[in-house]
Amino acid sequence: MTTTIDGLQYAKWSEKIFRQMRQGKVDAVHVTIAYHENFRETVANIREWNLLFERHADLILHGRTAKDVLLAKETGRTAIFFGSQNPSCMEDDIGLIEVLHTLGLRFMQLTYNNQSLLATGCYEACDPGLTRMGREVITEMNRVGLVVDMSHSAERSTLEAIEHSTRPIVVSHANSASWHPARRNKSDVVLKALGETGGVLGFSTYPHHLADGPACTLEGYCTMIARTIDVMGLQSVAIGTDLCQDQPDSVVEWMRCGRWTKNIDYGEGTASAPGFPDMPSWFHDNRDFQNIAEGLRAVGLRENEVRAVMGENWLRFFETNFGPKA
Amino acid sequence: MTTTIDGLQYAKWSEKIFRQMRQGKVDAVHVTIAYHENFRETVANIREWNLLFERHADLILHGRTAKDVLLAKETGRTAIFFGSQNPSCMEDDIGLIEVLHTLGLRFMQLTYNNQSLLATGCYEACDPGLTRMGREVITEMNRVGLVVDMSHSAERSTLEAIEHSTRPIVVSHANSASWHPARRNKSDVVLKALGETGGVLGFSTYPHHLADGPACTLEGYCTMIARTIDVMGLQSVAIGTDLCQDQPDSVVEWMRCGRWTKNIDYGEGTASAPGFPDMPSWFHDNRDFQNIAEGLRAVGLRENEVRAVMGENWLRFFETNFGPKA
């Protein structure tokens, strides 16, 4: 029986989407519960998730360990794992790392696009690497089993996080920069270092991360995945669609501008196209994961390789990285 | 009538200290109301100050504009101006700049010793200059008249703040690095740029910023001031004692460690001398300002120069920088 795990989604969550997850046989999803929300606001979002878990107990469950993925499979549900795309949720308090982990957080990006207290985001002009606090926080994340995610971080910070962390880290949603040189995609240097340390890359379907944008072909996407296996090794590649389903454009403004500017920052968009771009034809929502699996077979991946990419690599990563070191 | 203004103090405030301010004929003091306190905690500190203003209305008043210094002089009191030594008080919210100004904040350091969301502190290994958010925040500080203070910032960030700010900035408490190469003291390059843009340096008496530490002579200190006048121009030099009176050692730990590390960081201290160092013999508290004035005369400063350093430069700076641009 195959396992399907998505390394990142951020949707306007609803019963409709949870039913689509079941239709697509998605066993687990890492969901973003906070961008620029502070601790209290993140708790409010967790409170909303608790309501969703209660109301839709037939479709989803709160995932805390890899065993919850197996429980989800056995009971025909989807395990939801929490993550934050910025360290705003821990504010300036290293003591909140353990508190957030206890509340269920399993991934935290050290930065979104800007400089944080911990590291540098990919939109800053200059990246001096991890800060003093960043090193302390990674050590604490390693201790409790909160996974370091460098999806939106700049190159030097990412390499230093890989080096400083005593446990593997992830880039939950990005693609190869040698395929499509977006600021958010990762260089072969980063991908190699990530692979060598047991880290995982989740391949994104967000059009700004795709060669040719919404027109990117499934074959092109899957060929990039096959080439990235050559760079990182099979065990380090997975899916992280970055699916932003049913969100209003106001949400993309919150993601990009938070509270750091009084002006509009368009991030990966432009003034003429400020909202969410159209998704590629072969991936609109959770029902389309089999398209990707078929695309991988079509470019020559063997069945065990397809299974590794579609879920088994994430599952193995979850098994050893969501709590204190065994 | 001379004017005496201190560009920075952080004490365990008490009637005793306010009486010493009066004995020393100190007309105004920029006091630190927050280090790592977040917005709500900063408001709690302002609430404590409101109680002090109410209880000791015969000794102190809340300073908001330069006119309050004159009012303090006329009524035999000391005007207290609020500042923060880290941008924690604004959290990640540019909208809090105006709110904090309305509450009375007149100075905000863009960093304490570490990297902040805005700029780099002097204890980081690498300084990439102002962040994207840092530029936005300086623009907003310029708009409302909240003064940028780079006392604890690293070199490139300080130079970029001077350049990016459309209004003069300050280094409220530090000395010349060419005299004593402490991390917190400023290079001649910074001092020159600060002077050329109408900024002000407040000379510190904190022993870690003094050549020979607590053994620094008054003559040595005043000779450094005279030399710095040659670098910056007379109009840009003032006093900012960094007096940390009556504080327990736990406060120095809060200043240095905040909530960013679970370990002890000794900052300018050491494991064997973690607390506050002894003050130099010629400056223990607010009653000793005349020692500095006499020391300046003894190294050859004329009376108008002594007056400029002891208070008139700060007063002129206050006149044009504590509100929207005229």
C-alpha distances out from residue B271 to A175, A196, B38, Å: 46, 38, 28
What integer pLDDT is reported at residue A151 of this predicted model?
A: 98
What integer pLDDT is reported at residue B142 of this predicted model?
A: 98
Per residue, the 3-state secondary structure of A248-283, as one string, reads: CHHHHHHHHHCCCCCCCCCCCCECCECCCCCCCCCC
* For range A99-110, the mean pLDDT: 98
C-alpha distances out from residue A223 to A177, A179, A205, A218, A227, Å: 14, 10, 14, 8, 6
DSSP state of A247: -
Mean pLDDT taken over chain B: 97
Closest CA relative to residue A191, chosen from A183, A201, A206: A201
Q: Is the pLDDT of residue B277 over 90?
A: no
A277 falls in which pLDDT band (50, 70, 90)?
A: confident
B273 falls in which pLDDT band (50, 70, 90)?
A: confident
Closest CA relative to residue B172, chosen from B136, B206, B134: B206
A7 falls in which pLDDT band (50, 70, 90)?
A: very high
Burial B173-212 (b: 16+ CB within 10 A, else e): bbbbbebbebebbbbeebbebbbeebbbbbbbbbbbbbbe
B135 falls in which pLDDT band (50, 70, 90)?
A: very high
Beta bridge partner(s), residue B96: none
A103 falls in which pLDDT band (50, 70, 90)?
A: very high
* For range B172-192, the mean pLDDT: 98
C-alpha distances out from residue B17 to A53, B35, B243, B246, Å: 57, 20, 11, 9
Percent of chain A with pLDDT strictly greater than 70: 100
Q: Do A261 and B91 touch (CB under 8 A)?
A: no
Contact A144, A97 (CB under 8 A): yes
Q: Which two tokens stand for residue B293?
A: 């004035």
Does B267 reach chain A within 8 Å, measured CB to CB? Answer: no
Q: Which two tokens stand for residue A243?
A: 């699916």
| Residues in CB range of B8: below 8 A, 6 or more apart | B30, B31, B32, B83, B151, B172, B173, B202, B204, B240, B241, B242, B243
Contact B71, B112 (CB under 8 A): no
Does B111 reach chain A within 8 Å, measured CB to CB? Answer: no
A2 falls in which pLDDT band (50, 70, 90)?
A: very high
What integer pLDDT is reported at residue A315 of this predicted model?
A: 98
What integer pLDDT is reported at residue A53 of this predicted model?
A: 98
Q: Which two tokens stand for residue A191?
A: 């991908």
Does A128 reach chain B within 8 Å, measured CB to CB? Answer: yes
Mean pLDDT taken over chain A: 97
C-alpha distances out from residue B234 to A267, B2, B168, Å: 46, 16, 15
Contact B60, B26 (CB under 8 A): no
Does A126 reach chain B within 8 Å, measured CB to CB? Answer: yes
Contact A147, A170 (CB under 8 A): yes
B271 falls in which pLDDT band (50, 70, 90)?
A: confident
Q: Do B259 and A132 touch (CB under 8 A)?
A: no
Percent of chain B with pLDDT strictly greater than 70: 100
Q: Is the pLDDT of residue B152 over 90?
A: yes
Q: Which domains does chain B have, with CATH numbers?
A: 5-321 (3.20.20.140)
Q: Do A94 and B129 touch (CB under 8 A)?
A: no
Q: Which two tokens stand for residue A92?
A: 């300036």
What integer pLDDT is reported at residue A309 of this predicted model?
A: 98
A271 falls in which pLDDT band (50, 70, 90)?
A: confident
Q: How many residues are present in chain A?
A: 326
Residue identified by tokens 């991030």 is A267
Does A223 reach chain B within 8 Å, measured CB to CB? Answer: no
* For range A266-292, the mean pLDDT: 91
A189 falls in which pLDDT band (50, 70, 90)?
A: very high
Distance from CA of B281 to the nearest CA of A (A): 35
Q: Which residues from chain A sit within 8 angstroms of residue B260, using beta carbons?
A: 92, 94, 117, 132-133, 136
Comparing B269 with A126, the larger pLDDT belongs to A126
CA B70, CA B74: separation in Å to the nearest integer?
6
Q: Is the pLDDT of residue B48 over 90?
A: yes
Q: Do A136 and B262 touch (CB under 8 A)?
A: yes
Q: Which residues from chain B sit within 8 angstroms of residue A133, using beta carbons?
A: 114-115, 260-261
CA B85, CA B37: separation in Å to the nearest integer?
10
Q: Is the dihedral of CA B190, B193, B196, B198 positive or negative?
A: negative
CA B271, CA A53: separation in Å to the nearest integer?
50
Q: Is the pLDDT of residue A122 over 80?
A: yes
CA B255, CA B266: separation in Å to the nearest integer?
10
Distance from CA of A91 to the nearest CA of B (A): 8
Question: Could you say which residues from 240 to 259 on chain B have a Cβ atom under 8 Å away from some Cβ of chain A?
Answer: 258-259
Distance from CA of A32 to the nearest CA of B (A): 19
Q: What is the ipTM of this complex?
A: 0.90
Q: Is the pLDDT of residue A276 over 90?
A: no
The predicted-structure confidence for A132-162, as pLDDT tens digits, reads as follows: 999 999 999 999 999 999 999 999 999 999 9
Q: Is the pLDDT of residue B1 over 80?
A: no
